[in-house]
Amino acid sequence: MIIGTAGHIDHGKTSLVRALTGVDTDRLKEEKARGISIDLGFAYLPIEDGDTLGFIDVPGHEKFVHTMLAGATGIDFALLVVAADDGIMPQTREHLAIIDLLGISRGLVALTKSDLADPDRIAAVTREIAAALAGTALEGAPILPTSVQSGAGIDEIRAHLAQAARVVGMRADTGRFRLAVDRSFVLAGAGTVVTGTVLSGSVRAGDRVAVSPSGRTARIRSIRAQDRPAEIGRAGDRCGLNLAGETISKDAVARGDVVLDPSLHAPTDRIDATLNVLASERRPIAQWLPVRVHTASCEVGGRLVLLGDPIAPGESGLVQVVLERPIAVASGDRYVVRDTSAQRTIGGGRLLDLRAPARRRRTADRLAAIAAHGEAQPTAAVARLLDISPFVLDLTAFVRDRGLQEGAETTIAGNLNLTRLMVGSTLHVLSAAHWKMFHTALLGRLDTFHADNPDLPGIGTERMRLQIVPRLPPAVFAAALQGMARAGEVALEGAWIRRAGFTVRLGGRDEALWERVGPLLAGGERFRPPRVRDIAGLLGEPEPDVRRMMKLLSRIGRVDEIAHDHFFLRATVAEMVGILTRLGAGRAEFTAAQFRDQMENGRKVAIQILEFFDRHGVTLRRGDLRRINPHRLDLFRPLADDASAKDMPAASGAAHSDGREASLVGRPDFKSGRGREPVLGGFDSHSLPPRPPVRPVADATSTRPRAATARRGPE
């Protein structure tokens, strides 16, 4: 059990700890000279059952309340110290308010210097203390007179603390490891050592950890828990960790940092929280109020954004805490805010949502989500969040922000029978009811679209996303489509989504026209087919009609538009890819002239063909030389390919209904020719892919979103 002292300056906190443990916690030269505590002090007391009580002695001076706060977070038991000759003083009340705001509900009051007061005075101060405790978390706590000079009451306090430790017991260590750093120093022969209270989880010697918010990584060389060498440090222990790592030094880790499980490293600077305003405040909380925010051992500047009506003294409400810099915290942590001059404590509360939005933060759905995050039980919180728009939750981030144990995502999803969608390495979930609604709406919309538009290859994926309720975020929507494609319900092709098995049916006139055009693109002239204008002239057909039909066939995949109005059969494009493959065998580089000679074509057309392949990533150009990118050779297979393609998985988005990858949509490794940026697919021969109006889909191999490039094309 960790015991923290609290109380006004010169009321005997350090002397009481020395009388209980035999340890003088004033270790600094200045503390010895001035006779007051300036920094945190630590002591330990072994008890009969083999356990050890840890003491954190805090300064009582008003200038050092920020230091008191660094030590108060994480304590199990408050030892409030009041001198009998002084009684309740300003820092007594402020420390008591801080204890209450931090939710510390166990404690006792040591009425020190009782040898300096007569019985009437002791009785009067006892009544004063009881009145001050009324309405706080320590209401009804024992008040024990004591004197370090005579030793009166010391044994009684020691016995009471030992009994409290048996009642409190060990904290559960089922969460992931977090330790709030309050000291960092160097030991000769050991290196960097940090100390602090383990807030959750456990850690063993040899474990890999991260230092947040900096993100430095380290290995635990050795551990001291409750001032004893140990192989493991658990929640509730005072621990010293000997850290090793290339970036680890005394100056690299400081008070306010958190040593934690690497999977928890996700600092934040915008948090939705509850706020309880102290009754001692003179006026309601103002919008954008500058404050000093204290949580765990960290202190950082910030501002308060009201999420409702002004919060009057003595009342509670919701706020968004906007910080000057990111910090490492967990949902559910307690915090305290003080004024910027560090003269008074304003209030405090619980941190709820660590990923608070900067806009639309007061809508009904947003306030409902904040209330759901306030649920202490994770399963209940997830159930409530999934009933709020957008009806989907990043469960991986939820579990991380709460510091829950490994495997909690699977447990929660199983308990609630949730539909699971993987986006990169993160798990997103929907309730079964909302997934059924989404699934039914999407398939119904596709059926209606195909019935109304039999000559179109499908509907644009972004257009479809915006029409379906629930409206999923782009990355999650893409994951849902990929799952449905693997199940054979839909097919993804280019920028389009269609029902699996649906094929575009050409109208009678278009079919008849294609029967006349097709032969012109094949045979001996297949590498130099006529352009749209030439075809129209040869056949005596209107040029716009020929162009419209060729564009439609391009969408279907029968032809590819190599250059403006210059269409090649897909089989011919596949044949040209074969020529390129032979030229670039063994990672050899080749010139445009070599390719031209292989096709027995003109240089201008050869250059246009190579630029088409450059844009699609089939060839990689450096100056006048090109080489083959083997990862793109499947992009232009003929439609009637070998049967083995049917067994290929529907990769990250673009696949025929038979499973063959057919386009650039969702290809995590696709690069455009302009700046080699990752792009979404579905574009013609002379434009890069259209820029979607919303945040692009994250690819399947990275948690980073893809960047969309170039100008917007037709839906």
* Residues in the chain with pLDDT values less than 70: 27-37, 60-62, 64, 169-173, 494-495, 634, 637-715
| Residue 163 burial by Cβ neighbours in a 10 Å radius (0-12, 13-18, 19+) | exposed
β-sheet bridge partners, residue 110: 81, 144
C-alpha neighbours within 13 Å on the C-beta side of residue 62: 12
Residue 366's contacts (CB-CB under 8 Å, 6 or more residues apart) are 357, 360
Query: Distance of alpha carbon 270 from its chain centroid, rounded?
Result: 12
What is the tens place of the pLDDT at every residue in 419-448? 999 999 999 999 999 999 999 999 999 999
Secondary structure element (H or E) that encloses residue 7, with its range: strand 2-7
**What is the spatial distance between Cα 515 and Cα 517, in angstroms, rounded to a whole number?**
6
Q: Where are the domains of the chain?
A: 2-168, 178-264, 268-366, 508-647
What is the tens place of the pLDDT at every residue in 636-667? 754 333 333 333 223 333 333 333 333 333 33
Sign of the four-CA dihedral 543, 545, 547, 550: negative
Sign of the four-CA dihedral 367, 369, 375, 380: positive
Confidence at residue 659, expressed as pLDDT on a 0 to 100 scale: 33
Q: At 281, list the tokens.
A: 């405040």
Q: Per CATH, is 268-366 categorized as 3.60.15.10? A: no
Residue 558's contacts (CB-CB under 8 Å, 6 or more residues apart) are 569, 570, 639
Q: 508-647 sits in which CATH class?
A: mainly alpha
Q: At 433, list the tokens.
A: 């009811």
CB 184 within 8 A of CB 210: no
> Which candidate, 236, 227, 118, places its Cα nearest to that of 177?
236
Confidence at residue 694, expressed as pLDDT on a 0 to 100 scale: 38
Q: Per CATH, is 2-168 categorized as 3.40.50.300? A: yes
**What is the spatial distance between Cα 585 and Cα 596, in angstroms, rounded to a whole number?**
17
Q: 178-264 sits in which CATH class?
A: mainly beta
Alpha helix positions (H), 169-240: none
Q: At 709, list the tokens.
A: 């490039």
Confidence at residue 177, expressed as pLDDT on a 0 to 100 scale: 96
Do the domains 508-647 and 2-168 match in fold?
no
- The residue type of 110 is A
Q: At 698, list the tokens.
A: 């994250």
> Which candidate, 459, 672, 661, 633, places its Cα nearest to that of 557?
661
Q: At 676, list the tokens.
A: 């080699």
How high is the mean pLDDT of the chain? 84
